[in-house]
Amino acid sequence: MLKNLVVNPNKCTGCRLCELACSYKHFKVVSPSKSRIHVVRMPHEAIDTPIYCIQCGLCIDACPTEAISRSKETGAIKVDVNKCTGCGICVYVCPYGAASIDPDDHKALICDLCGGDPECVKVCPENALLYLDADKAVAYKRIAFSRLQRKELTALMPDKR
């Protein structure tokens, strides 16, 4: 069963432990610039939310050197650093801003779900990050989206007092 990473931005405190765990897992250094997940502050909502790869695969189709593929075991995106030229096309086509280029070796940084056991999920103290079966992840996202829409619509309605 394929799994997906999902986030509940209402639970994220902005601690950035996910960024640190990611960089340490992959590079044995604590460096947000080497992380494949990035926490950003949404100024209008005053909340922090992790930005991460949703594994859509647009980068696979766009990569001119075929350095990006999908793991048969986990379904996750993976980058062959021996083929990657660091051209940045994957960064350009990513609609979520989740792909980046490593500042040191100039290779693509895209979440590989840690081979099916994401470190970011394990270290999140508020359980804002979840790793769910794909069908549950879709349901979770739909529920979260409907709640957000309801909240926005309620804010637009005139006060009936």
> Rounded CA gap, 78 and 112, in Å?
5
pLDDT at 147: 57
Strands (E), 52-113: 68-70, 77-79, 100-101, 108-109
Reference 152, options 52, 44, 66, 56; nearest CA is 44
- pLDDT, mean of residues 94-109: 96
Per-residue model confidence as pLDDT tens digits over 5-53: 989 888 999 999 999 999 999 999 999 999 999 999 887 777 888 999 9
> Rounded CA gap, 12 and 141, in Å?
16
- In the predicted model, is pLDDT for residue 71 greater than 80? yes
pLDDT at 154: 55
The residue with greater pLDDT, 104 or 141, is 104
Query: Which residue's entry shows tokens 């986990």?
Result: 74
**Structural domain boundaries of the chain?**
3-133
Provide the CATH topology of domain 3-133. Answer: Alpha-Beta Plaits (3.30.70)
